């Protein structure tokens, strides 16, 4: 039985990809309702345009960071509305949480919540304060993810507002490291070098390139044009993969403050090196419920008619 493709599913895919509505519906139908597969199909058919809007984040919350010497912490705390992200009590909780991560190195969310902390008359643990603020503010909030840093070089952090946070582990010049942290926030690399890019991401990109080549072959065939030789197609696919690796690896990206040199060249000139980095974007990977008000009203009207 074919999966039911709803208007809200089509709307969600369109918001992610900027693709035409009918193309979104076709892709979802072909993918049998699988959102991720449908997005990949659109990338094959429409090129990189389909991926440009996929980074739009709808979940609310903040990212905070804290560095104390060679120890650091970064955390993402989520809430329901953007209004709460500006609440002083919520921000105080977020900042204190990053500090507690840096100073205590908790093993998980439960261990973090059990740490001693008092605020706004609530306590004696961080979890007690979280629960107290939920009642006081009237909105749910949760510790989503965090990371402790230490023992892998010096630390530099950068926060772009409250929605993007970067922590860089480095050796060398402090100013260069801070610039790299800002660069990471802007360009969002997935690894330090091409060799470090996860295999699953590479294979996914190779599949997209192969799918695009097959789509081009079908278009050429329909136009009565000869198909490209297999070796040429293979080179095109591999070329697409190599282009992707350069785009997502930190060392190969053009430096945001001087696009005439790569980040790797800038670091070399500053006698510095990046040992590791962590990038948090608020809500990344969270699927926020999209309410289709028109569809809901139509369903209620239909139900009322059926009951009459």
Could you report how far apart the first and last alpha carbons of the chain are, in Å? 31
Distance of CA 300 to the CA centre of its chain: 36
Question: Does a cis peptide bond (omega within 30 degrees of 0) precede residue 124?
Answer: yes
Closest CA to 8 of 289, 199, 284, 220: 289
Residue 167 contacts residue 182 (beta carbons within 8 Å): no
Across 23-45, average pLDDT: 84
- pLDDT tens-digit series, residues 247-288: 999 999 999 999 999 999 999 999 999 999 999 999 887 655
Which 3 state secondary structure label does DSSP give 68?
strand
CATH superfamily of 1-56: Ubiquitin-associated (UBA) domain (1.10.8.10)
pLDDT band at 43 (very low <50, low <70, confident <90, very high): confident
Per domain, the residue ranges of the chain are: 1-56, 60-150
The residue ranking higher by pLDDT, 47 or 95, is 95
Distance in angstroms (rounded) separating the CA atoms of residues 146 and 76:
6
pLDDT band at 71 (very low <50, low <70, confident <90, very high): very high
pLDDT band at 52 (very low <50, low <70, confident <90, very high): very low
Domains 1-56 and 60-150 fall in the same CATH topology: no
Q: E strand or H helix at 168, and its extent? A: strand 164-171
Q: Which fold has domain 60-150?
A: Tetrahydropterin Synthase; Chain A (3.30.479)
Using the predicted structure, report yes or no on whether residue 297 has a pLDDT greater than 60: no
- pLDDT tens-digit series, residues 158-192: 999 999 999 999 999 999 999 999 999 999 999 99
What phi, psi does 118 have (nearest 5°)? -130, 140
């Amino acid at each position: 039985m074919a999966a039911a493709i709803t208007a809200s599913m089509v709307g969600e895919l369109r918001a992610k990809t900027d693709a035409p509505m009918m193309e979104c519906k076709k892709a979802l139908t072909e993918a049998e309702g699988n959102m991720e597969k449908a997005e990949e199909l659109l990338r094959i058919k429409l090129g990189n345009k389909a991926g440009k809007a996929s980074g739009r984040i709808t979940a609310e919350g903040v990212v905070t960071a804290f560095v104390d010497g060679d120890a650091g912490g970064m955390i993402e705390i989520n809430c329901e509305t953007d209004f709460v992200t500006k609440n002083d009590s919520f921000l105080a909780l977020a900042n204190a949480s990053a500090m507690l991560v840096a100073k205590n190195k908790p093993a998980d969310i439960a261990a973090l919540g059990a740490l001693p902390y008092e605020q706004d008359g609530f306590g004696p643990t961080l979890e007690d304060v979280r629960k107290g603020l939920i009642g006081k503010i009237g909105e749910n909030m949760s510790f989503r993810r965090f990371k402790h840093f230490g023992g892998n070089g010096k630390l530099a952090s950068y926060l772009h507002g409250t929605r993007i946070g970067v922590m860089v582990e480095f050796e060398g010049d402090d100013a260069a490291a801070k610039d790299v942290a800002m660069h990471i926030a802007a360009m969002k690399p997935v690894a330090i070098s091409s060799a470090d890019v996860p295999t699953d991401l590479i294979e996914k990109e190779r599949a997209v390139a192969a799918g695009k080549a097959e789509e081009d072959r079908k278009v050429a065939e329909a136009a009565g044009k000869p198909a490209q030789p297999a070796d040429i197609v293979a080179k095109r696919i591999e070329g697409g993969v190599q282009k992707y690796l350069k785009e997502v690896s930190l060392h190969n990206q053009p430096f945001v403050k001087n696009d005439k040199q790569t980040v790797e060249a800038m670091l070399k000139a500053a006698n510095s090196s990046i040992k590791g980095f962590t990038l948090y974007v608020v809500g990344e990977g969270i699927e926020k419920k999209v309410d289709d008000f028109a569809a809901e009203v139509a369903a209620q009207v239909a139900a009322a008619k059926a009951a009459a």
